[in-house]
Structure 1
Amino acid sequence: MSLATPVQALAQYELTVAGNKLPPVKYKTILADSGLVVKEINKLLFQLRSDGYLAVSADSVIFNQHKVRAFIVTGERFEWASLSRGNVDERVWNETGRSEKRWVNTRITPENYAGIFKSLLAWYENHGYPFAELKLINRKWEGNTLSGQMHVEKNELITIDSVIVRGNAKLSRVYLQNYINVKNGDVYNESVIRSISTRLKELPMVNETAPFVVSFEGGKAVVILSLANRKASQADGIIGLLPDDNKKGKIKLSGDLRLKLISAFGRGEQFEVNWKQPVANTQDLRARINYPFLFSTPFGVEGGLAIYKRDTSYIDVNLSGAVQYLLRGNSYLKLFVTNKKSSLLSTSSLRNATVLPPINDMVNTTYGLNLRREKTDYRLNPTTGYIVDVTAGAGRKKILKNSTLNQELYNNLKLNSESYQAELVADLFFPVGNRFVLNTGVNAAWLNSKNIFQNEQYRIGGLKTLRGFDEESIYATQYYIGKAEFRYILDRNSFLQIFYNQAYYASETISGNIYDKPLGFGAGITFETKLGIFSLNYAVGKQFNNPIQFRSAKIHFGIVNYF
């Protein structure tokens, strides 16, 4: 039989700091072990050096059991008497935030001393002088003050001779040099050169197979890139299996097919065509073409056509054009104009109408701005980063009188009015541990105009907006959809997910007002196969005061193929 001894409490050290002319300092007095005591003393010395006491040292450190006494010798606090720019150009001196008055009676610290050289050298490196040398001359110590002059040797001016590409990348030289912002004849810019690899990672159609090399000779710089072609164009399709509310026990289909060609001719151009059948007898066709770096400028142009036919009710034809200012990666600022014409198709049943129908002929012209910012670690399956897309527009709406209707129905209607709209789509990605990712986001839109008809509203519902609902089954003049999605990463292009969507929408039209807070939740899987990236989602929705019905769940599956 043995008796257990009580466990002794962990020893703690009590630190006391003293010194002649020691300024007020903050430090921890109680520390768990001797190693932390040494770290705390070193931290204190760094703090004092940063305050101008360049010669500070720990004269002695005495351990007496669990009490520690450190004696600090600070020495003099060093200051600048004066610092002049010497032969440094006045423009450079001012642009780097230097001022001779700033350095009079200012304490000298390792940080500000190094900062002078760092900022000045960076300026010269970014303006054609990557081999510039900088030093402090005519140094003079008087007691604890220092005076001196800056002196720069710029050496040879360097310009860009060319960019050489090694590998099978199918990119035109003009597009590539505009994209990385390194053009023949440009003055050498170190910050631009350093960003080349980051810029190349943002391109979907190439991989950098080896670090780039810069070769200097005779005042010229040659940038050598090693690039391999990467599959970026895509063809994808989504099929929705939805319970048919009108036929018990039956299933109805919805579809969404898209073809997107990226840089087929090596100039970064994009062509996209998208066909959808959100509900039976309804067709939605969209086409878009984009051409970047027009005439070797950061501007690009875009044109689009969208045709939407809602069974036999109406058809929308939307023409759009835009000028883009290209930012980093897939980010841009866009100035656009759209012209949307909506026309009724079947009007025979409206001949004897005594009130205006919920849909009507109209023309709407909108001018606006669109800003997109995108920064993620991997575009196909991000684990960190963000995507933000903001649109704002204003224009004029003209309601057209339909000859089939009784013209008196339009008497009290304002046919011409202003129209305003705003849209926001944002996604944030946060890593949670090694394999988990939290994706939160918001999708919102707002439309304001006089006498709004059903056929000018937003259409939401389905896999890309509000999961758990039929595709584009909800009409809204404004909506706000919040998203929370938790992913378990299986591999680079595969993950499991559970998700929840909470929405609010309003439909305020000439036919009346509808308000609701629908929600949707479910789970899904996305995984990579030889044919492409396959996705399967199961979602349940709830709206108004109806109970959740799992027999009305929606199943969406699709595949994306890159080529």
Structure 2
Amino acid sequence: MKILYPIFLLFFCVFFKAQQKQYQLIDVENNKKTTVKDSVSAVKFLDSLSQNSYYFTQVKNVKKEGNVTSIYFVKGKNFNEANITIPAEAAKLSKLKTEFFTKNLDSLKKEISEKYRNQGFAFNRVKSKFTGIKNNIPQVEISVVEGNQRKIDAFVIKGYEKVPTRFIKNLEKEFKGKTYDDRNLVAINQSLQNHPFVLLDKPPQTLFTKDSTQVFLFLRKKRSNSFDGVIGFGNDKTNKFTFNGSLNVNFRNMFNRFETVNVFWQRNPDKGQTFDLQADIPYLFKSNVGTNINVNIFRQDSTYATVKFLPSIYLHLSSRQKLGLRGRFESSAIIDTLYTQGKDFTKQGIGVWYEFTEPSEVGLFLYKTRIRGEADYISTNYNKENATVTQNNFLFSAERNFHISGNNYLNLRGETALLNSKNEFAANELLRFGGWNSFRGFNENSLYADLYYYGTAEYRYLVGEQAFFDVFGQYGEFNNKSLNLKPKIYSFGLGFNFVLPIGLMSFQISNGNEFGNPIKFGDTKIHWGILSRF
């Protein structure tokens, strides 16, 4: 009996299944069959046709043979295809004719509604009215109920509410009174994307009332303090293997005023050391005026030392642009009396500068675009010679990240600087460049010039949001009148950057030389760095 029980159960299931009813829906026009499990599913299928613009679907016949019920139907005309008539104003806004044929009425209505929404009519309604059939084509009239036009009236900060008052006023200055549309919402989102001090927890949201439109920004204070350390390996001028490196510490927004205090120290292989202290306060007295104070000390072993003091005041032209006026006070003293290439001097001057920054959508890149220009008028006094001359100092740099396709990016960067005067420059007042952040493949600040320019092309391959690899090449020229040098130089290399729990790690291998000289393996420079935020 125990053996017969499962056989009986299997027979019962097969028999029950055979007794179940089936419903077949057959399209008369193309004889296409659709099988459903019950009558409720058959009704839902027929209803779905009317919801997809087959409004005149008709059941022509129903046949029942055993457990199979066959339903024959005709979909009729698809009313999503129609001859359209729309008002002249809607036609002008949508760049359409007032009468035309469309194969997708639903899509057309969405397109017209989108056009009105982009004009601030957030609650517009696009209506369609069936007026008959002509030449077997449905005739439809479209009308638009615009509603009230909406404009951005105010911003409401939620979450991190201790942002500077001027920060909110600048947002209102840029967007208040503008049409409430997707384009301006995207612009608001982009203006806060990768902001140095705040994060958007979620996209901007909107509260509509009868008389106002308020945009809510859900902000969070960003961990913006940073520690940036770089260790370099390479040979000095005597081909002796040496270590060099830099430390860069930023204390930012500790008092919720978007302020920055930056401390930088660097040692190059030729025993030169740089100490730089900079303080920046962007909104003085809740205004759009900011101040930047910079003290820079450079000492070349026991040969000479130079001190610069650069007080600056600037105006925020927009959230991305600054225009500044600065003073320049500089003093240099020769320590080694046997060093005849340098001179004791003091400088006083005034200058202007401009800066534009655009944040990057890629968190691993510092900027999408950065442009900086400087111009200084300087009076220089050579102490021992009791001579005073005027000089001009110019600098221009630009950087841009281009998205090629997929994970491929191209970083282009260029920089040029000029120190201009009728007199011959001393070695300790020349421009210095070269190294990790300028012309790679050369030691830090090892190139001296009164004029230089160079360009960098760097291919970057992004690996997710955690790492990218890069290959770069550089070309440059510089002029040193005192030594009668005008070399053409190059550098090349590769590296990788990836995110660790402690921060962003960078590793770079580079080599460079003057055109015409052979590449030397001993001139290879290796840099390893870590950028950590806290």
| Normalised TM-score (structure 2) | 0.68
Instruction: Give the 5 Å matches for 1:207-356.
Output: 207-215=199-207, 223-244=215-236, 246=238, 250-347=240-337, 349=338
- Alignment of 1:370 onto 2:358: no
Paired residue for 1:526? 497
Give the match for residue 510 of structure 2: 539
Does residue 426 of structure 1 match 2:398?
Answer: yes
Give the Cα separation in 1 of the matches to 2:310 and 2:264.
15
- Give the Cα separation in 1 of the matches to 2:223 and 2:292: 23
- CA displacement, residues 396-452 of structure 1 (integer Å, 9 cap, x when unaligned): 111111xxxxxxxx4xxx821211121111112222221111111211111101221
User: What letter matches 1:252 in structure 2?
Assistant: T
1:343 deviates by 1.2
Q: Say whether residues 1:464 and 2:398 are aligned partners.
A: no
Deviation at 1:224, TM superposition (A): 2.9
CA contact (8 A) 2:150 2:180 kept: no
For 1:488, which of 448, 461, 468 is the aligned residue?
461
| In 2: Cα distance, 1:157 partner to 1:281 partner | 61
| 8 A Cα contact 1:384 1:431, kept in partner | no
Q: Secondary structure at the match of 1:518?
A: strand
Residue 191 of structure 1 deviates from its aligned partner by 6.9
Q: Which amino acid counterpart does residue 343 of structure 1 have in structure 2?
A: A
Q: Deviations over 1:218-247 (max 9, x none)?
A: 856654321223222210111110124536
- Which amino acid is 1:532 matched to? G
Is residue 439 from structure 1 mapped to residue 411 from structure 2 by the alignment?
A: yes
Aligned with 2:481 (options 477, 492, 508): 508
TM-fit CA distance, 1:331: 2.9
Letter of the aligned partner of 1:304 in structure 2? N
| 2:484 alignment partner, SS class | strand
In structure 1, give the amino acid aligned to 2:303.
Answer: S
8 Å Cα contact 1:518-1:543 kept in structure 2: yes
Give 1:327 deviation, angstroms. 3.7
Q: Give the match for residue 172 of structure 2.
A: 181
Contact 2:309/2:329, CA 8 A, preserved across alignment = yes
Q: 1:562 to 1:175 in 2, by over 3 A?
A: farther
Task: Please tell me whether the aligned partners of residues 376 and 386 of structure 1 are also in contact (alpha carbons under 8 angstroms).
Answer: yes
Deviation of residue 517 (structure 1)?
A: 0.5
Alpha carbons 2:166, 2:287 under 8 Å: kept: no
CA distance in 2, matches of 1:529, 1:316: 38
8 Å Cα contact 2:158/2:216 also seen in 1: yes
**Does the 8 Å CA contact 2:152/2:213 hold for their aligned counterparts?**
yes
The alpha-carbon distance between structure 1 residues 370 and 266, as it changes in their structure 2 partners (threshold 3 A), is: same
Moved more, 326-335 or 492-501: 326-335
AA in 2 matched with 1:394? Y
Over 3 Å counting, the alpha-carbon distance change for 1:415 and 1:172 in structure 2 is same
- Unaligned runs of 5+ residues in structure 2 are 1-83, 85-90, 102-112, 124-145
1:360 corresponds to = 343
| SS state at 2:285 partner | helix
What amino acid does structure 1 have at the position aligned with 2:196?
A: P
TM-score, normalised relative to structure 1: 0.65
**Residues 26-105 of structure 1 correspond to what in structure 2 (within 5 A)?**
54=97
Whole-Å separation in 1 of the counterparts to 2:457 and 2:270: 30
Residues 258 and 273 of structure 1 are in contact (CA less than 8 Å); yes or no, is this contact kept in structure 2? yes
Equivalent AA in structure 2 for residue 395 of structure 1: I
Q: CA deviation at 1:159?
A: 6.1
**Kept after mapping to 1: 8 A contact 2:152/2:178:** no
* Contact kept in structure 2, 1:389 and 1:426, CA below 8 Å: yes
Secondary structure of 1:180 counterpart: helix
State the match for 1:479 in structure 2.
452
- Residue 387 (structure 1) shift: 1.7
- The answer for the alignment partner of 2:27 in structure 1 is none
Deviation per residue, 1:23-77 (Å, 9 max, x gap): xxxxxxxxxxxxxxxxxxx9xxxxxx98x9956668xxxxxxxxxxxxxxxxxxx
Q: 1:378 offset after TM fit, Å? A: 3.1
Q: Distance in 1 between matches of 2:229 and 2:377?
A: 33
| Separation (CA, whole Å) in 2 of partners of 1:332 and 1:493 | 32
Q: 1:237 to 1:157 in 2, by over 3 A?
A: closer
> Alignment identity in percent?
23
C-alpha distance after superposition, 1:310-350 (max 9, x if no partner): 11111111111111211444432222121111111222x37
1:562 and 2:530 are equivalent in the alignment: no
**Counterparts of 2:492 and 2:457 in 1: how far apart (Å)?**
10
Partner Cα separation in structure 2 for residue 218 and residue 389 of structure 1? 46
Match of 1:38 in 2: none
Change (3 A) 1:416 1:223: same
1:153 Cα offset (Å): 12
Supply the RMSD in Å over aligned alpha carbons: 3.7
The equivalences for 1:116-155 within 5 A come to: none
Q: CA separation of 1:538/1:202 partners in 2, compared to 1, >3 Å: closer, same or farther?
A: closer
Read off the aligned partner of 2:524 and give its amino acid letter: A
CA contact under 8 A between 1:300 and 1:325: conserved in structure 2?
A: yes
Paired position in structure 2 for 1:205: 197
Contact 2:352 2:374 in 1 (8 A): yes
Whether 1:386 and 2:369 are equivalent positions in the alignment is yes
- Which residue is equivalent to 1:517? 488
Instruction: Label 1:552 to 1:428 Cα distance change in 2 as closer, same or farther (>3 A).
Output: same
> 1 CA distance for matches of 2:433 and 2:367?
27
Structure 1 stretch 364-373 or stretch 377-386: which is displaced more? 377-386
**1:72-121 CA-partner distances (Å, limit 9, x unpaired):** xxxxxxxxxxxxxxxxxxxxxxxxxxxxxxxxxxxxxxxxxx9xx999x7
Moved more, 423-432 or 477-486: 423-432
- In structure 2, distance between residues paired with 1:519 and 1:501: 5
Asked if 2 retains the 8 angstrom alpha-carbon contact of 1:485 and 1:498, the reply is: yes
Amino acid at match of 2:202: A
